[in-house]
Structure 1
Amino acid sequence: MDLAFFSVQLLNGLQYGLLLFLIASGLTLIFGIMGIINLAHGAMYMIGAYLVYDLTMRLGNFWLAIVVAIPIAIALGLIIERLFLDTLYKRDHLYQVLLTFGMILVLNEVQRIIWGGNVHSVSVPAPFDSSIQLTSNLRYSVYRLFVMGVCLALAGVIYWIIRHTRLGIIIRAGAVNRDMVEGLGINVRTLFTLIFSAGVALTAFAGMIAAPLTSITPGMGDSILITCFVVVVIGGIGSIKGAFWGAIIIGMATTFGSVLIPSLASMVIYLIMAAVLLVKPRGLFA
C-alpha cells in the first residue's frame, strides 16, 4: 500500500466516521436520556436521503432541497415522538423494541409506495463536483472534504451545547438520573421532544449529505443502524464524546478492513466492540 493510497483511505475513513457520528449522536442521546431503544433510527437516515433525492428532482437544486427537507425531517420527528413514543417512557423496553421495529416496516413500506423499489442517485452538487490536489500525487474529492467540514462543525456545535450551555447541563444530568431532573421542576416531556427531534434531524441530515456519495436504496438505513449501535456501545451510552470517538474508530476500521482484509471486513467492527467491552464494559467514555 503506497502512501497516496493510504492517505485516501485515511480520509475516506475519517469522512465515514464523521458521518456515523451525526447518526450515532442522536441515537446515544435518545437511548441514554429518554431510555428509548429506537430501532427506527436508521430509517430516518433513509428518509433523509430519499427526501433530498425527491426534492432535488423537483426543485433542480441540491442545496435548496436540503433547506426544504430539514424542516420536514424535524416535523416527522415531532409527530413520531408525540403520537407513538409518548406512551412508552414508563414501559418495558420490549414494548419500545416492538413499536420501533414496526415503525421500520411502516417507513420502509411508505418509502416503496412513494419512491418505488429502484436504486436512485443524486449528482454531486456544484461547486463541489471536482477534486483538489492535496499533495503532488494525491487528489481528493472536494465534496468529501466538504462533508467532513460540515460534520466537524456540527460535532463542535453539539459538544459546545452539551458542555457549555444550561440545556447541555440538563441533558447530561438527564443521562445520569432522569428522576432527579424531573424533581428539579424541569419539563422532561419538552426535553424529550427536543432531543428526539434533534436526533431525527441529525440522522436525516446525514442521509441528505451522504446521498451524492452512495446509492439510495430501499432499506439502506438498516445496516447503518447496526453500525451505529456498535458505535454507541463502544463509546458509552449517553456520551457524545464517546459517540464521536467510537464513530471515528469504526469509520477507520470499516474502511481499512474492506481494503486490507475484505473477506473479514464485516467482522472487524464486532471484534473491536468485543475487545472494548472486555476492558471497559460500559464503553470508553460512559
Structure 2
Amino acid sequence: MDISTFLAQCLNAVQYGLLLFLVASGLTLIFGIMGVINLAHGSFYMIGAYLAFGLAPLFGDQFLLQLLAGVVLAASFGFILEWLFFSYLYQRDHLQQVLMTYSLILVFEEARSLLVGNEVHGVKAPPWLSGSIRLGDLMSYPVYSLFASAACLVVAIGLYFVVNRTRLGMMIRAGASNRDMVRGLGINIKLLYRVVFAAGVALAALAGMIAAPMSSVYPGMGGQILIICFVVVVIGGIGSISGALIASLLVGFVDTFGKVFFAQFSGLSVYLLMALILIWRPEGLKSKGY
C-alpha cells in the first residue's frame, strides 16, 4: 500500500467514524442519560437521509440551509415523539421499551413506503462540494467527504462544549445522576428529557442528511447502522459523549482497514474489538464523565 492509498483509507476511516459518532452520540444520550433502550434510533438516521432527498429540490444549492432546515424539522419531530410515546417509558422495564421502540421501526418503515415508495434514491452533492483533491499521482479524494468529516467534527466539539461547559449540560448530567434530586431543585425534568431526546433525534437525522450524498437513500438503511451504533455505545461507555467519539473513531479505523487487509473476516473485526475492550474494561472506555 503506497502512502496516497494509506492516506485515503485514513480519511475514509475518520469520515466513517465521525458519522458514526453523530448517530451514536444521540443514542448514548437517550440510552445512557434517560435510560431508554431505543431500537428506533436507526430510523432517525433513515429519516434524515430521506429529508435530504425531499428537501434537495426546495433548497437547490443552499446545502447548509437545507441541513439547518432538516435539523429543525428532526428536532421538532423528536420533541413531539418524546411527548407522545417515550415519556411513558422511563419507569417501564426494558422489555416494554424494546417492544415499543421496535413497533416504531415498523411504523416508520411503513410510513416511508407510503410516502416515497421502496425505490433506491440518490442525492447529489452541491456543486461547490462536488470536486476532488489529488492524493499523489493516481489517487483523488472527494471534497464532499472532507466537508462531511469537518462538519461532524464541528458538531462533536459543539456537543462536548454544551454537555460539559453550559448550564444546560450541567442539568443534563445532574438529571442522569439523580433525577429526583434535580426535580426537587425545581428543574422541569420532563422538559429537560424532551430536549435531550429531540437533540438525539436531530443528531441522528443530521448524520443521515450528511451521509445521503455519499451513498444511496434506500429502505431499511436505519437498521444497518443501529447495530454498529450500539457497539460504539458499549465500547465507549454508556452515557459518555467523549467515549462515544473515541469508540467511533476506533470502529472506523478497524472496519476500514479490516476490509483492506482481511476482507474475508472484515465483518468480525468490529465485534472482536468490542469483545477485547469489554474483557479489558467491562464498563467501556469512559465509565465516568462525559
Query: Are the equivalent residues in 2 in contact too, given 1:48–1:69 (CA < 8 A)?
Result: yes
Instruction: Name the CA distance, whole Å, in 1 between partners of 2:181 and 2:283.
Output: 22
The equivalences for 1:164-243 within 5 A come to 164-243=165-244
In the alignment, residue 24 of structure 1 is paired with which amino acid? A
CA RMSD of aligned residues (A): 1.5
Query: Are the equivalent residues in 2 in contact too, given 1:254–1:265 (CA < 8 A)?
Result: yes
Instruction: Name the CA distance, whole Å, in 2 between partners of 1:106 and 1:50.
Output: 15
Structure 2 unpaired stretches of 5+: none
Instruction: Name the CA distance, whole Å, in 2 between partners of 1:176 and 1:270.
Output: 29
Deviation at 1:184, TM superposition (A): 2.7
Q: Deviations along 1:199-241, whole A, 9 cap, x unmatched?
A: 0001001100110001111010101010000000000000000
Q: With the length of structure 2 as denominator, give the TM-score of the two structures.
A: 0.94
Query: Are the equivalent residues in 2 in contact too, given 1:33–1:178 (CA < 8 A)?
Result: no
In the alignment, residue 67 of structure 1 is paired with which amino acid? L
Instruction: Name the CA distance, whole Å, in 2 between partners of 1:154 and 1:70.
Output: 12
Deviation at 1:62, TM superposition (A): 5.7
What does residue 35 of structure 2 align with? 35
After superposing on structure 2, the runs of 4+ consecutive aligned residues of structure 1 that deviate more than 4 Å are: 134-138
Query: Are the equivalent residues in 1 in contact too, given 2:4–2:135 (CA < 8 A)?
Result: no
Query: Are the equivalent residues in 2 in contact too, given 1:53–1:121 (CA < 8 A)?
Result: yes
In the alignment, residue 8 of structure 2 is paired with which amino acid? V
What does residue 266 of structure 1 align with? 267
What does residue 256 of structure 2 align with? 255
Deviation at 1:260, TM superposition (A): 1.4
Alignment identity in percent?
Answer: 52
Instruction: Name the CA distance, whole Å, in 1 between partners of 2:161 and 2:271.
Output: 31
Local SS of the residue matching 2:186: coil
Aligned positions, number: 286
In the alignment, residue 12 of structure 1 is paired with which amino acid? N
Instruction: Name the CA distance, whole Å, in 2 between partners of 1:258 and 1:124.
Output: 26
Local SS of the residue matching 1:133: strand
Local SS of the residue matching 2:88: coil
Query: Are the equivalent residues in 1 in contact too, given 2:130–2:144 (CA < 8 A)?
Result: yes
Structure 1 unpaired stretches of 5+: none
In the alignment, residue 219 of structure 2 is paired with which amino acid? P
Query: Are the equivalent residues in 2 in contact too, given 1:44–1:200 (CA < 8 A)?
Result: yes
